[in-house]
Chain A
């Protein structure tokens, strides 16, 4: 008997769509399949899994119009939840927002979350995302017990820390290039409330900021610093350090979390909106508001996902989009390269709406996982063409000199030779990929750019 609804269309039938990452640069054309049941189409045409499109650069952008983009967001069923251990098994497209909506009322929270909840679990695995607790808990992949993939040849493969371990370590942080992740089993964290006990401290400069982060690391599961990237000279690195922990039932005393409210950015902002002066003004106001040391309870939304309150905030950067730059500089290299990167950015005058600083704990065995022990910086640059790209290349040179690396979930322009010199285990990863996908059927604009995949 024929299926009750249409079979997924082949790449040739779906209309071409313009696709970009969250930074809206670059834009690629591809055909998209959207179905509750995600399967690789037969044949050998290139495919690219895509979730909620929150990676900033070209990781989820098709490399050519021959690519079939497999949108996984409709594959969003919960398969099993063990209320004793917090082990959640679900399909690839379940978002952290949905996990929080369903399981926070029962006392569970994602063990690791990036700065937005609008991400799929498969996307979190593919980017091996990290959060404000990296110094203590490591990346998302550390909490994954099992993955089910459909490999390039169509086979279903189960992998995990102790089964098909190499495939697992290549898939976590593997940017979706090792196979189609269809199911994820991950451990959630038990929490007593939906609130975060937050403390803020003022840092007058970079040394003080790093010292505050270091001093808070032992006792606080979540730490992060916000810095005014335009502050000059001795004030470089000035900002606010925030540290938080899940509040206990007693602390919260029946307080109810306001339902998440969000506004939309209805149109693309004009390109001049975010300039040196407007961003400086924003940074000053932010600094002034958070200046005094304070402790208070904030909702998990306010603490983890402040930007989720403005849907489509990426439109604030105008039609040309923006680049987000995130690097990590190893602790062993000291504070000097951190200062050098910040100085270079301040000198460039490229306004950064958000400059985030955070200390990372040790990295782990996943071959392409981004974090390593040291300091990570994340900044936005409005995209202004070659000048912006040149700035990234210059920053990359500083990062390489220090032994650091950039984060593929953010990247859109890094040169392949730069990236290769940042990733000591790239060769091992390539070998695993070659075993599971010798024809490199899984590919993206990013893998074309960085790995020399055919478009």
Chain B
């Protein structure tokens, strides 16, 4: 695999990039902090990724830079075949509710930027015969919930986009995977109270990689979330209104 990873310096992205490195895959890391990218590139190289692991600057909130970043990745990998996007923002809902700029930034990163990047990549991959796009959405996008609807709205949009992208490009050889994790113990969720079924990044990353390999289009991870969310989606509004989550 020749994979471009956005968000590989931390959390689930770090775990997933390590799985790829362990198989000897070729990697190029995209992100905003050059020192962090470099440190993660060295880590992945030491763990078996094909050397050298490439790096290039990309800010998911600034689509103007995407062409350059994808070009750099193509040069580093001599034409990549896979894009993995784990990067994203999770703000405190109370802050987002009162800080329009922070909210805009969250939507830009989690929705607009991710959608634009995946769309551009789909075109690029289709033009050379195909490839794989794996982006991380969230169970939070499956239903509007009082505690997390701003983040959830961006993820709902992203999930819908990824579904359509799958239909539009599968015929042109591009496989699209939408990963919907539940609560994962990473820097993003630090300080939050752990709900049931909280997971570590490693098993979530393993599930995502297995789904990529199997050519699946959507997975919940841990798998129990598929049933939990099915139940939550079935709840009538008057019940949702009373629930505090």
**Chain A residues with a Cβ under 8 A of chain B:** 1-2, 4-6, 8-9, 13-15, 33-36, 74, 77-81, 102
The 9 closest A-B pairs by CB, nearest first: A77-B43, A78-B46, A9-B191, A14-B191, A36-B10, A78-B43, A81-B46, A5-B187, A35-B187
Residues of B within 8 A of A74 (CB): 187
Min CB distance, B225 to chain A, in Å? Answer: 22
Check B175 for interface membership: any CB of A closer than 8 A.
no
Q: Encode B51-62 as 1/0 by CB contact (under 8 A) with A.
A: 000000001100
Quote the shortest CB–CB distance from B205 to chain A (angstroms).
Answer: 14
A34, A77, A81: the one within 8 Å of B187 (CB): A34
Is B39 engaged at the interface, CB distance under 8 Å to the other chain?
yes
B9 within 8 A of A: yes
Q: Which chain B residues numbered 37 to 90 have a C-beta less than 8 Å away from chain A?
A: 39-40, 42-43, 46-48, 59-60, 87, 89-90
Residues of chain B contacted by A34 (CB below 8 angstroms):
185, 187, 190
In the complex, the answer to whether A9 meets B14 with C-beta atoms within 8 Å is: no
Q: Which A residue's beta carbon lies closest to that of B193?
A: A15
User: Does B191 contact A36, Cβ atoms closer than 8 Å?
Assistant: no
Partner of B42, one of A2, A9, A14, A79: A79
Residues in A neighbouring B46, C-beta threshold 8 A: 78-81, 102
Contacts of A9 in B (CB 8 A): 190-191
A86: shortest Cβ distance to chain B, in Å? 13
Flag if A6 contacts B105 (CB, 8 Å).
no
Residue B29, interface by CB 8 Å: no
Tell yes or no: B32 within 8 A of A by CB.
Answer: yes
In the complex, the answer to whether A4 meets B190 with C-beta atoms within 8 Å is no
Q: How far is the CB of A359 from chain B (nearest CB, A)?
A: 36
What residues of chain B lie closer than 8 Å to A36, measured between beta carbons?
9-11, 14, 187
Query: Shortest Cβ distance from A157 into chain B, in angstroms?
Result: 19
A-contact bits for B14-29, CB 8 A (1 contact / 0 none): 1000000000000000
**CA of A9 to CA of B95 in the docked complex: distance in angstroms?**
14
The residue that A6 contacts in the complex, of B14, B39, B42, B188, with Cβ under 8 A, is B188
Residue of B nearest to A2 (CB): B105
Whether a CB of chain A sits under 8 angstroms from the CB of B117 is: no
In angstroms, Cα B14 to Cα A326, docked, is 38
Decide yes or no: A13 and B191 within 8 Å by CB, A80-B42, A80-B46, A102-B46 being known contacts.
yes
Q: Does B133 have its Cβ within 8 Å of any Cβ on chain A? A: no
Nearest CB to that of A101 among chain B residues? Answer: B22
Instruction: Determine the chain A residues whose CB is within 8 A of the CB of B193 once the complex forms.
Output: 15
Distance in Å from the Cβ of B100 to the closest Cβ of chain A? 14
B residues apposed to A, CB below 8 Å:
9-11, 14, 31-32, 39-40, 42-43, 46-48, 59-60, 87, 89-91, 102, 105, 109, 185, 187-188, 190-191, 193
Which of chain A's residues has its CB closest to B194's CB?
A: A15
Q: Is the CB of A14 within 8 A of B190?
A: yes
Contact at B39–A5, with CB atoms within 8 Å?
no
CB distance from A14 to the nearest CB of B (A): 5
CB neighbours of B60 from chain A (8 A): 4
Q: Which residues of B contact A6 (CB under 8 A)?
A: 90-91, 187-188, 190-191
Q: How far is the CA of A79 from the CA of B43 in the complex (A)?
A: 6
* B87 contact set on A, CB distance < 8 A: 4
Residues of A within 8 Å of B14, CB to CB, are 36
5 CB < 8 A contacts A-B = A1-B59, A6-B188, A13-B191, A74-B187, A78-B46
Chain A residues whose C-beta falls within 8 Å of the C-beta of B11 in the assembled complex: 5, 36
Q: Judging by beta carbons under 8 Å apart, are A79 and B39 in contact?
A: yes
A14 / chain B contacts, CB cutoff of 8 Å: 190-191
CB-CB under 8 A from A13, the residues of chain B are: 191
Query: Which residues of the partner chain B approach A77 to less than 8 Å between Cβ atoms?
Result: 39-40, 42-43
Assess whether A78 is in contact with B47, with CB atoms less than 8 Å apart.
Answer: yes
Most chain B beta-carbon contacts within 10 A, residue among A13, A34, A36: A36
New contact pairs (17) apart from A4-B87, A36-B10, A102-B47, CB-CB < 8 Å:
A2-B105, A4-B31, A4-B109, A5-B10, A5-B89, A6-B91, A6-B187, A6-B190, A8-B190, A34-B185, A34-B190, A35-B187, A36-B9, A36-B14, A77-B39, A77-B43, A102-B46
B187 and A78 contacting across the interface, CB-CB below 8 Å: no
The residues of A that contact B48 with a CB separation of less than 8 Å are 102
For residue B105, which residues in chain A have a CB less than 8 angstroms away from its CB? 2
* Nearest residue, chain B, Cβ from A81: B46
Chain A minimum-CB-distance residue to B46: A78
B102 to chain A: closest residue by CB: A2
**Residue contact A1 to B32, C-beta cutoff 8 Å:** yes
Q: From residue A216, how far is it (CB to closest CB) to chain B in Å?
A: 36
- B105: shortest Cβ distance to chain A, in Å? 7
CA distance A326 to B228 in the complex (A): 48
How distant is A141 from chain B, measured CB to nearest CB, in Å?
A: 23
**How far does the alpha carbon of A35 sit from the alpha carbon of B190 in the complex, in Å?**
8
CA of A252 to CA of B193 in the docked complex: distance in angstroms?
A: 49
Distance of A156 from chain B, by nearest CB (Å): 14
In the docked arrangement, what's the CA distance between A8 and B105, Å? Answer: 19
Q: Which residues of the other chain, B, contact A78 by a CB distance below 8 angstroms?
A: 42-43, 46-47
A235 CB to closest chain B CB, in angstroms? 47
**A6 to B43 alpha-carbon distance, docked (Å):** 23
Chain B residue with minimal CB distance to A79? B42
| Interface-centre pick from B47, B59, B105, B190 (highest chain A CB count, 10 A) | B190
Q: How far is the CA of A13 from the CA of B92 in the complex (A)?
A: 12
Contacts of B187 in A (CB 8 A): 5-6, 8, 34-36, 74
**Complex Cα–Cα for A238 and B151 (A):** 64
Q: List chain B residues, Cβ under 8 A from A4.
A: 31-32, 60, 87, 89, 109
Q: Which partner residue on chain A sits nearest B109 by CB separation?
A: A4
Q: How far is the CB of A121 from chain B (nearest CB, A)?
A: 14
Chain B min CB distance to A22 (Å): 19
Docked CA distance A2–B9 (Å):
17
Shortest beta-carbon distance from B129 to chain A in Å = 32
Point out which of A6, A15, A34 has the most chain B C-beta atoms below 10 A from its C-beta.
A6
Residues of A within 8 A of B102 (CB): 2
A1 to B108, CA, bound (A): 14
In the docked arrangement, what's the CA distance between A8 and B191, Å?
8
